Structures are given as C-alpha cells and as structure tokens.
Amino acid sequence: MCPLYLQTSIDNTAAECYFYLNCGANRYESPGAAQRAETEVRNAARAQIRRKNPVCFKHAFIKDRWRFSMLRVGIMAHPQKKLFREKLPELLELFKRSGIRVFFSGDIMEKSPHHFPEIKILPARDIPAYCDMIFSFGGDGTMLRTIQVVGDRQTPVLGVNLGGLGFLTEVTLEDFTPTFRDILDGKYHLEERLILEGRIEGQEKPMHALNEITIEKGRSTRVIEVAVEIDGKYFNDIVADGLIISTPTGSTGYSLSSNGPIVVPTSECLILNPICPHSLTNRPVIIPAQSKISA
C-alpha cells in the first residue's frame, strides 16, 4: 500500500481553506485586491508561525480594507442537469447586464443545446485562477467537486441547489437572482471552511477534499492495518476496514455514518475515524487542524 500523507496547511500556515459564501456585509473594492490580500496574509501567517503563533485567515483575510470588485465569475455545474441548461440564457443575460465576465468549464457547454460565442470556456482546473468568485450549480456532489478544483486557492464559492439534498448548497435557482444582486451590493460574508490536502508517495500532484479523505480496503474481504503517524510521531496501528480523515464540514457525512462525532463546521480540528475497527479501543479521535498525518 502506498503511504498517504495528509496536511491542512501550506508551508505550515493556515492557508488551506476555501471560502463559503453567505449573506453578510463585506465586499472587495478593486480588481486584484483579493490576490494581493492573499499574498499579504500568507506572509503574515509565515511571520506568525516563526513566532510560534499560528494565524487563521478568518481573523486576517476578511477585512473591510481588503475588498474587491467582482469582475469575473466562474461557473461550474452538473452537466446533466436539465434545469441549469434551460436557465442558462437567463443567467448569462443577468451577468451581462451587471458587467460581469463569465468563464465556464468545458464540460458544461458540451452538454448545452445553446451556443454562446461571447463566453469564455476554460478547463475546470483553470477557472479558480481566472475568477474572483465561483458559482457551483448542482447538488452537494457538484459542490464537493468544485472545491477539489479550487484546491488551495482562496476563491470564494457559492453553491446553488438544483434539487436533491443541498446540504452545502442552500441557495435555490429561484433565489439566485436576488442573491446575486445582494452580492453585488456587498450584502454577504465569507465563511471559512477547512479542507484537506493529501499526497500519495510517488505522485507529485496533491489531492484536496472538503469532507474527508478515506483509506479503505477496496475489494478485499480482509481488514487492513493502517500505521498512523501524527506530525512525524507514532500514533497507533489501526486494524479496520479503513480509516476516515474528516474535516469538521465532513463530520456529518461519511464519518457520521461510521459513528463519528458531529463537529461545528467552522471548528479548527480533524477527525480520525476507523471504519468498523477490529478492536473496541479504536475509537474516533479529534486532533488539531494543523496536524500532518501519515498513514
């Protein structure tokens, strides 16, 4: 089994997060300010780390003096959702009237019956770098895939529910127009959520997850043994069907189904939760968010 390394920060800073958009009171003022703010906060975070006093973005990034004008938005959606394809012309007209430039992921336009020569199509992985904000149209699955694409960038994301559970996507398509106008008027706030960055030994590209990263036995009928280290120190040998490393946001997902605790989503912690452990002593454990886990 290839070793898996997990951490929740870049260069030991509290930078691994995504911003979940809600109604509130903050807006940015000038193009590029978001990128400059990100750089300033990363530098501040590194300075704080050197003083052994970690800084969290929610205390530094969301400030009135760091505001931006939303000029470019990225659209990511479930390509099979008929409702989205039907509403697409109306959405584009809304963005056009507002002076917003729109970037679409290529998979959306492949499924659309309409042709819009004025819009910019990009690979999904490139959208976060070009956009001030991303709208995710679909369900929770679409939202989770969007966050995987955003990765460690600080691009705010708003989920728009097109039916289904919508646990992470509270805005409906019917409510999108007034919500969008509220955003333009600065009537929103940014809610920070922790994400995971995982690396598999031998692979350069990291993976990102909003809910959890899971090590599991696959098709085998036997339990597996997972040797876990936290911050380079031995923690435990877990004999089970697998191991869930969950964020607070993911505590109500797969981890909860495996008898894990419910954690306030904005908390700064991680959950280590064995799946059907062989030993009664292997129970869910909550650890600091800054921990680096090797398994």
Q: Which strand (E) or helix (H) includes residue 67?
A: none
CA 167 to chain centroid, in Å, comes to 14
CA 69/CA 102 separation, integer angstroms: 14
**What is the Rg, in whole angstroms, of the alpha carbon atoms belonging to the chain?**
20
Which is catalytic among the residues 64, 140, 175, 237? 140
The residues, any chain, with a CB within 8 Å of residue 263's CB and separated by 6 or more, are: 248, 251, 269, 271, 286
Closest to 92 in 3D by CA, of 60, 116, 127, 66: 116
Q: Are 249 and 17 in contact (CB under 8 A)?
A: no
| 8 CB-side CA count, 13 A | 28
Q: Rounded distance, CA 205 to CA 75, Å?
A: 24
Nearest CA to 195 out of 232, 145, 256, 159 is that of 145
Asked if 150 contacts 128 with a C-beta cutoff of 8 angstroms, the reply is yes
* 107 a catalytic residue: no
Amino acid found at 162: L
Question: Which residues are the active-site residues?
Answer: 140
